[in-house]
C-alpha cells in the first residue's frame, strides 16, 4: 500500500509563474532503489475477543480480519482474504473493485523474531512485481501478535512518473505503471487523483516552500494519509521525496528519483 500512496503523492509540484516546457520539474523520473530508503516504519497486530485480528500502522491504515478464508474490508476501499499456510504462515489476497491487485505470503521465522512478507501481482499496465519486506519483532513472542519494525525492503522494479505542464499554471503528472493521473492548478487546493487502483476521494494539497522545495499532503475522503516534502537538486537531475504517515514523523521514507 505504501508504494501506491507514494505514487499518488507525487502529484505535488511547485506553482511557478509558468509551467513552461523548460520547467525543471517536467520530464520523466525513475525511482533509484539504491539511493532510496523505505525501512523503519512500524506495524502492529493484536488479537480481538472474537478471535479475529486487528492490524494498524499507527496512523491512517487500520482494519480487522480473520484467517478463515472470508473476505474482510481493509483500508481505503481494499478488501482482503486471509488463509493459514503452515506453521506461523498465512496467505492473503488483496482486491480493489473486485480485481486482485496482489497476493501476499507472510512467514514468521522459527525463533519468532522475524516476519517476512512477500507481495506478488500485476500492475495496471500489465507489468509484474515481486517485492519482499522483512520486519523485526519489537513486542510479542512467537505469533503474529505484536509490534514489528521494517528492517529490509527488496523492490523488484523501479517505477516511473511523468511530469508535464499542459498550460500556464496547470500541472499534469502520470504514473504509467499504475495508470494514475493528476491534473490541475497547483494553488494549494486539493487536486483529484484518478486511476484503476487509486482509492476514491484521493486528493493532494501542496504548499510551495521555495523554487526547489515544496510540502504536500495526500488525503483520502478529506483525511490526511501521507505528509511529505520534495526537493529538487541544484542541477535539476535528482528529486528527493521524504514522506511519513500522520503522527509518525520519526518513521520517514525517502524516495530518490533521477531524471531520464
17 pLDDT band, cuts 50/70/90, is: very low
Higher pLDDT, 39 or 12: 39
Residues 62 and 108 in one domain: yes
Domain end residue (candidates: 154, 185, 217): 154
Residue (of 12, 233, 22, 1) closest to 119 by Cα position: 1
Cell triple for residue 125? 499496465
pLDDT of residue 214: 79
139 pLDDT more than 90 = yes
Residues 211 and 251 in one domain: yes
pLDDT in tens, 219-236: 999 999 999 998 999 999
Domain count, the chain: 2
Residues 147 and 169 in one domain: no
CA–CA separation, 74 vs 146, rounded Å?
A: 19
Contacts 24+ apart (CB under 8 A), 61-64: 61/1, 61/225, 61/245
Residues 175 and 250 in one domain: yes
CB 112 within 8 A of CB 118: no
Residues 139 and 189 in one domain: no
Higher pLDDT, 2 or 82: 82
Average pLDDT score, the chain:
89
Cell match 523503519: residue?
A: 40
129 in helix, strand or coil?
strand
Residues 53 and 145 in one domain: yes
Strand ranges, E, within the chain? 27-31, 42-47, 53-56, 62-65, 71-73, 78-84, 89-96, 99-108, 114-122, 128-137, 146-154, 160-167, 170-175, 180-185, 191-194, 202-210, 213-220, 223-232, 238-244, 253-259
Domain end residue (candidates: 154, 182, 202): 154
Q: What is the mean pLDDT of residues 164-175?
A: 81
pLDDT cut 90: percent of the chain above it: 75
11 pLDDT band, cuts 50/70/90, is: very low
Residues 80 and 137 in one domain: yes
Supply the pTM of this predicted model: 0.89
Q: How far is CA 43 from CA 26, 85, 209, in A?
A: 36, 21, 31
pLDDT in tens, 83-128: 999 999 999 999 999 999 999 999 999 999 999 999 999 999 999 9
CATH number for the domain harbouring residue 217: 2.40.128.20
CA–CA separation, 118 vs 212, rounded Å?
A: 36
Cell triple for residue 5? 500512496
Q: How far is CA 141 from CA 14, 43, 47, in A?
A: 47, 15, 13
**Residue 83 lies in domain:** 42-154
218 pLDDT more than 70 = yes
Domain end residue (candidates: 129, 154, 179): 154
185 pLDDT more than 90 = no
Amino acid at each position: 500500500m505504501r508504494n501506491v500512496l507514494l505514487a499518488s503523492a507525487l502529484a505535488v509540484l511547485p506553482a511557478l509563474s509558468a509551467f513552461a516546457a523548460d520547467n525543471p520539474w517536467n520530464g520523466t523520473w525513475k525511482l533509484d532503489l539504491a539511493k532510496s530508503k523505505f525501512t523503519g516504519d512500524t506495524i502492529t497486530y493484536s488479537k480481538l475477543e472474537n478471535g479475529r485480528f486487528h492490524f494498524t500502522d499507527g496512523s491512517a491504515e487500520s482494519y480487522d480480519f480473520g484467517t478463515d478464508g472470508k473476505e474482510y474490508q481493509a483500508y481505503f476501499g481494499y478488501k482482503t482474504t486471509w488463509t493459514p499456510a503452515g506453521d506461523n504462515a498465512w496467505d492473503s489476497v488483496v482486491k480493489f473493485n473486485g480485481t486482485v491487485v496482489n497476493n501476499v505470503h507472510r512467514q514468521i521465522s522459527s525463533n519468532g523474531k522475524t516476519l517476512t512478507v512477500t507481495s506478488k501481482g500485476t500492475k495496471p499496465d500489465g507489468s509484474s512485481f515481486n517485492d519482499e519486506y522483512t520486519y523485526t519483532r519489537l513486542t510479542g513472542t512467537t505469533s503474529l501478535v505484536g509490534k514489528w519494525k521494517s528492517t529490509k525492503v527488496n523492490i523488484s522494479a523501479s517505477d516511473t512518473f511523468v511530469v508535464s505542464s499542459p498550460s500556464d499554471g496547470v500541472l499534469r503528472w502520470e504514473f504509467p505503471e499504475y495508470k494514475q493521473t493528476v491534473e490541475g492548478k497547483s494553488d494549494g487546493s486539493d487536486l483529484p487523483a484518478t486511476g484503476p487502483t487509486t482509492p476514491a476521494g484521493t486528493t493532494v494539497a501542496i504548499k510551495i516552500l521555495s523554487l526547489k522545495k515544496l510540502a504536500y499532503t495526500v488525503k483520502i475522503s478529506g483525511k490526511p494519509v501521507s505528509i511529505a516534502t520534495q526537493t529538487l537538486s541544484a542541477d535539476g537531475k535528482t528529486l528527493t521525496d521524504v514522506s511519513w504517515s500522520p503522527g509518525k514523523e520519526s518513521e520517514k521514507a525517502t524516495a530518490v528519483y533521477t531524471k531520464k
